[in-house]
Amino acid sequence: MNNSCLKKNFVQTDAGKIFYYSQTPFPGQPTIIFLHGLSSNHSTWNFAVGAAEKMGFNFLALDLRGHGHSDKSKKRNLYQIPIFAHDLQEVITKENINQIILVGYSFGGQIALDYALRYPTKIKKLVLISTNHVNPLRYKHLNFLTWPAYGAVNLLAWLLLWQKRKKYYYFDQAKDSGYWRSTLKGYLTMPLSVNFWLLAQTAYLDFRHNLDKIACPTLLIRSQSDPFLSQKEVNDMKQKIKLSETAVINEPSHFLASRHQEKTMEIISEFLKEKIS
């Protein structure tokens, strides 16, 4: 769907501007907030705009810090998951949103998890797409590689701090199709150092001991074959999140929200048909 109908806005945080895009045709109704994955932006959710409207919900999607039009400061301490959760709260406060359905995809799902744990009373429903709750190396029995990889990625980030660009490529999900094309373009959307700092955050990813605190209805979406998210991990998450259910999309890909939007939104629509209390 053409997203020209979306209203572009930003919130000025202590660490730069965070841009977001919204459509609010239903005053008083819940807002679905969408969080995209690494190296993308709000255009991941182009198809979701119309889907949200058909369901009678308002729509809001962020350009996460370091992505899209949002701040890209080359300061490593700004690219930690709690900072992203704080950015989200700043947007929610500015827009005065009280009824939230939070949808996170891959890296955006990790932010959604963190936010849901920090602000448990704000979320009516939670949807996690292709989302790990721990470092994925743990489920591959390769956890011993975590810290060597962390050191290597941070070294690369440091070596690439010299990179200076006046303008970064603005990724458009509707135009940049194909896995390799979109992956390569993704590296042009932000400073390479920022990209590597975000990858390094995976080393600290561990929500194992907090998932049971999520009290809202939660949907876990996984593909039939995801190289990063195993079925065992999804089963463990479902066991710990009390009001959770799972759904599988018959595609051999991690990139469900960006490559299989219609199938993904169809499953989300079914989940949201149940009354929100």
What CATH number corresponds to the domain at position 184?
3.40.50.1820
Q: What values do phi and psi take at 155, rounded to 5? A: -65, -45
Q: What is the pLDDT of residue 218?
A: 98
* Domain region containing 251: 3-272
Residue 167 maps to a domain:
yes
Domain count, the chain: 1
Weakest-pLDDT range from 42-51, 81-90, 178-187, 248-257: 178-187
Q: What is the pLDDT of residue 189?
A: 84
**Residue 61 forms beta bridges with which residues?**
21, 34
Mind listing the pLDDT tens digit for each residue in 140-181? 999 999 999 999 999 999 999 987 777 777 777 766 655 556
Residue 1 has pLDDT above 70, yes or no: no
Residue 277 maps to a domain:
no
Please calculate the CA angle 80-136-206 and round it to the nearest 5 degrees.
50
Say which residues have a Cβ less than 8 Å from residue 176's Cβ, sequence separation at least 6.
182, 185
Residue 139 has pLDDT above 80, yes or no: yes
Residue 183 has pLDDT above 70, yes or no: no
Q: What is the pLDDT of residue 236?
A: 98
| 3-class secondary structure, 58 | strand
Percentage with pLDDT > 70 across the chain:
93
Q: Which structure tokens are listed for 248?
A: 């599988």
For residue 194, CA distances in Å to 30, 49, 127, 130, 248 come to 33, 28, 26, 22, 32
Mind listing the pLDDT tens digit for each residue in 68-117? 999 999 999 999 999 999 999 999 999 999 999 999 999 999 999 999 99
Name the average pLDDT for the chain.
Answer: 92
CB 54 within 8 A of CB 23: no
